[in-house]
């Protein structure tokens, strides 16, 4: 997700199970970034949102609640993790860095781990309970309102 001033990383399954209300995201000043994968610039820990290389896709209008097809760079400030009821303690910084590095697809192992460590140590970490009695949307709103 992105806002005018920052990006929020939401590793699976935060935005998928159950699907979140895009209107909620918009009301917190955030939009979904339509990407299967994101690039993070190591020097600035920013999402590098390169323009989509396919003209037909790049020409499409962004649906309501979505940020569109790219062409910007936004600093990552928050990571939102899902947490099941009764789950163990929040992950340590090392566990979070290892989990994020495990999602890396491009670059050397060292570069991916360096970026993951930067994110785990520099970003605010929020957690949502996907089974929150008020719903996952309310849990995400609480996290986003402070990011």
- Model pLDDT for residues 32-51, shown as the tens digit of each residue: 776 666 677 777 777 777 77
Q: Are 124 and 78 in contact (CB under 8 A)?
A: yes
Q: For the purposes of burial, counting CB atoms within 10 Å of the CB of 53, is it exposed (0-12), middle (13-18) or buried (19 or more)? A: exposed
Question: CA 11, CA 13: separation in Å to the nearest integer?
Answer: 6
Residue 115 lies in a domain: no
pLDDT given at position 98: 84
Q: Provide the number of structural domains found in the chain.
A: 1
Residue 109 lies in a domain: no
Higher pLDDT, 41 or 77: 77
Residue numbers of the domain that contains 22: 7-89+124-144
Residue 102 lies in a domain: no
Residue 47 lies in a domain: yes
Residue 100 lies in a domain: no
pLDDT reading at 147 higher than 60 = no
Residue 21 lies in a domain: yes
Residue 119 lies in a domain: no
User: Helix, strand or coil for residue 68?
Assistant: coil
Residue 116 lies in a domain: no
pLDDT reading at 71 higher than 70 = no
Straight-line distance from the first to the last Cα atom of the chain, in angstroms, rounded to the nearest whole number: 12
Question: CA 28, CA 119: separation in Å to the nearest integer?
Answer: 22
Mean pLDDT on 59-77: 74
Beta-sheet pairing, 39-41 with 7-9? unpaired
pLDDT reading at 121 higher than 70 = yes
Centroid of chain to Cα 20? 13
Question: CA 115, CA 26: separation in Å to the nearest integer?
Answer: 28
pTM: 0.75
Q: Are 8 and 30 in contact (CB under 8 A)?
A: yes
């Amino acid at each position: 997700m992105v806002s005018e001033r920052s990006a929020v990383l939401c590793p699976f399954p935060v935005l998928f199970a159950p699907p979140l209300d895009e209107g909620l995201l918009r009301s917190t000043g955030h939009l979904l970034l339509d990407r299967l994968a994101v690039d993070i610039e190591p020097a600035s820990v920013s999402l590098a949102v390169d323009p989509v290389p396919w003209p037909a896709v790049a020409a499409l209008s962004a649906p309501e609640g979505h940020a569109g097809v790219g062409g910007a760079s936004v600093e990552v400030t928050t990571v939102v993790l899902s947490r099941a009821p009764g789950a163990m303690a929040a992950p340590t910084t090392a566990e979070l860095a290892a989990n994020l590095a495990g999602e890396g697809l491009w670059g050397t192992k060292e570069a991916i781990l360096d970026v993951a460590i930067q994110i785990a140590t520099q970003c605010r970490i929020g957690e949502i309970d996907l089974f929150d009695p008020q719903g996952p949307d309310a849990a995400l709103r609480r996290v986003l309102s402070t990011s």
